[in-house]
Structure 1
Amino acid sequence: MRNILITCFLLAALIAHAQSPPVPSEKELKSLTVESLRAFQKAIQAKDFTAFHRQTSALWREQITPAKLKSIFQTFIDQEIDLAPILKLDPEFDGPAAIEDEVLVIQGRYPTRPSAVQFRLKYVNEKSAWKLVGIKVDVKGPTVPSEREARALALESLLAFNRAVQAKNFTTFHKQVADVWRKQITPEELKKAFASFTEQEVDIGLIAEHQPVFEPAPGFDEDELLLLKGYYPTEPNKVHFKLRYIQESDAWQLVNIAVNVSPEADADADNAQAATED
C-alpha cells in the first residue's frame, strides 16, 4: 500500500431532521467505522460497488449510482489497494465525533506502516440507524528521499555511529535510532555488536569529505523499509554501509546498520567488521 494518495467523495445536500439523535458511543463509532470500511474494501476487491451502494443512505443512493462510485474510486481498484489488514485493528479518532447540520462526522486514522490509512466518514440518521452519506479515504505511504536527502541521511547516521565508536559509548546513538529499535536493543548490546570497531579504534570520520555512492539507488526493500546501501570512496579503504529506516512522526529513523571498512567488500560481505541483526 506504499505511495498512494487516493480520492474522496462527499455529499453536500442533506435532509434536515426535527431533532438530532445523540452522538454514538466510542464503541458504536468504532463499529460504524469498521463496518463502512469493510463494505468499501469488499467493493474495491470485487471491483463492483453495487452491494456497497445498497448499504448507504437512501439520500445518497438517489444521487449516485454504483457505476459512478466505481469511477470515483477507480484508482483504488487499479492499484489493488487492500484495506483488509487494518480491519483487524481499532481505528484512532482525530477527535470527538460531532453532529454538524444533522450529519455525523467521524474522522481518524489507522497508523499502520509503512502506509497510514486516514478516513473521514459522514452519516445521516435514517429510521433510527446511521447510514453512510460521504466517504473519504487516503492511503499515504512514505516516498523515497531525493538523492540529496539520502546523502544527508546516510551521513548523519554514520557520523552518529562514528561518534559512538570514538566515545566507546552507544548511549547517545541509541537515543537517536527508531523507537521500535530502541525497545529491542540496549546501548550495551550495540557496543558489543560493534566491539571490533571500538577495539581496533576504527574512525570513519573521513566520509564527511566524500559523497556516497549508492548501490543500488535508494529505495524500499522487501520489508517496506527504506534501504540506503553503498560506499564512501575513502582511501586506502572504502567505507561500505547498509542502512535501513522506518518513518516515525514523519521522519526517517534508523532501524538497522551494517558497516564494513575494506578495499572492496560491501556491507553484506561475510567479513564485515560489524553489523546489527535484522
Structure 2
Amino acid sequence: MQPSLPVTLEQALYLIRSTLLTLNDANRTGNYTVLRDLAAPDFQARNTAADLGLNFLDLRRRNFDLYGAALLAPQFADAPALDQRGMLRLAGYIPTQPQQIKFNLTFQIVAGQWRLFGIAIATAEASVQPQAQAQTQAQTQAPPAKLAAPLQKKSQ
C-alpha cells in the first residue's frame, strides 16, 4: 500500500499549472502583481512585484513561454510531500522541447487554501541528464535559500 499524499494528484497538477501559467502571464505583461497577490503572506512580505520582475527578467527577455505547463503532464522528482514545517513541496519538470521547464514550488496552507510560498524555475535542454542541469534561470523564494537545491532525487 502506498503512503497517502498530502494532496491528490489532481490538486498537485492544478497548483503546478496555475502557478506556471500565472508566472507566464506575468512574464508576458511585465506585471507581477497578481502572482504576488495570490501568494502566501510571507511570500508577499519578502517580494515586491518589482522584485519578482527582476527575478524573472531572464525568462521574460528570452520570451520563454511556459504554456507547456497547460498541455503536458508534469513529471515529479519526488512524490508531493509536506516538509517539516507543513509546507507542500512540488518539484519536477514539464517535458517540453527543446527545453524542459524545471520547477520547485513550495506552498503554504493559508485559510484552508494552498498558496505559493516559494518558486524556483529553470530551463534545461531536454536531452541533458539530471546530474548536468542547466543553471537556474529565475529563482524567487521565501525564506532565502530554501529552494536553491537542485531538483534531483536524493541519493539513498
- Alignment match, 2:26: 164
Of the three residues 224, 240, 259, the one matched with 2:121 is 259
Deviation at 1:270, TM superposition (A): 6.5
Deviation at 1:167, TM superposition (A): 0.7
Large movers: runs of 4+ above 6 Å: none
Q: Given the alignment of the two structures, is residue 226 of structure 1 paired with residue 88 of structure 2, yes or no?
A: yes
User: Does the CA contact (< 8 Å) of 1:216 and 1:229 recur in 2?
Assistant: yes
Structure 2 residue matching 1:183: 3-state secondary structure: helix
- Alignment match, 1:271: 135
User: Does the CA contact (< 8 Å) of 2:94 and 2:102 recur in 1?
Assistant: yes
CA deviation string 1:206-227 (max 9, x = no partner): 2211011111010012443110
- Alignment match, 1:248: 110
User: Does the CA contact (< 8 Å) of 2:123 and 2:134 recur in 1?
Assistant: no
CA distance in 2, matches of 1:169, 1:197: 14
Of the three residues 11, 16, 21, the one matched with 1:154 is 16
Gap runs ≥5 in structure 2: 145-156
Gap runs ≥5 in structure 1: 1-142
CA distance in 2, matches of 1:202, 1:222: 34
CA distance in 2, matches of 1:206, 1:186: 27
User: Does the CA contact (< 8 Å) of 1:242 and 1:258 recur in 2?
Assistant: yes
**1:97-112 matched pairs, under 5 angstroms:** none
Query: Higher relative CO (CA 8 A, sep ≥ 6), structure 1 or 2?
Result: 2
- Alignment match, 1:177: 39
Using structure 2 for the length normalisation, give the TM-score.
Answer: 0.80
CA distance in 2, matches of 1:265, 1:223: 31
User: Does the CA contact (< 8 Å) of 1:212 and 1:230 recur in 2?
Assistant: yes
CA distance in 2, matches of 1:214, 1:194: 23
Whichever of the two has the greater Rg, that structure is 1
Deviation at 1:181, TM superposition (A): 1.1
Structure 1 residue matching 2:13: 3-state secondary structure: helix
CA distance in 1, matches of 2:95, 2:12: 17
User: Does the CA contact (< 8 Å) of 1:240 and 1:265 recur in 2?
Assistant: no
Using structure 1 for the length normalisation, give the TM-score.
Answer: 0.46
- Alignment match, 1:217: 79
CA distance in 1, matches of 2:68, 2:134: 24
